Amino acid sequence: MLSFLSKEVREGLEAARKSEQRRKSRLRVQVGGAVFPVLRFWHDGMALDAKLTPHLRGLVDVYDGARHIFQCLIVASVAEGDELVCDFKRSTIVNDKAPLDFWRDENAPVGYLTRN
């Protein structure tokens, strides 16, 4: 569809599309002190900008803005065009509180009143 446009115009449109995609995405990957924007994310992988991101492997943290949401173990990363596609072995949701080590009754009272 864009074949009738000149090469420079097509490259400019592609650069603008990637810039807009990077700007809209709140997701980012943090590896050590380095931060890389996430272009696309799915249940067992994600796509990053290949020009900004080195080949990743190992444990990385995924943030949505300032909120830590996933810890992912990347087993493979392959450059496909302008994207670096990373595959997960696992992605674990990060909780903000420790899991309970006991069963909590749904009908238990919220609090107890003291006797006077």
Which domain, by its residues, includes 39?
Answer: 26-93
Q: Give how many domains the chain has, as a whole number.
A: 1
Indicate whether 54 belongs to any domain: yes
Kindly state whether residue 74 falls inside one of the protein's structural domains: yes
Tens of pLDDT along 83-114?
899 999 999 999 888 878 888 888 888 888 88
* Residue 102 located in a structural domain: no
**pTM exceeding the 0.75 threshold for the entire prediction:** no
User: Between 3 and 77, where is the model more confident?
Assistant: 77
pLDDT at 58: 92
CATH number at residue 31: 2.40.10
Residue 2 lies in a domain: no
Whether 1 has a pLDDT exceeding 60, the answer reads: no
DSSP string, 42-108: ETTEEEEETTT-PPP-EEEEEEETTEEEEEEEEEEEEEETTEEEEEEEEEEEPPSSPPPSS---TTS
**Whether residue 22 has pLDDT greater than 90:** no
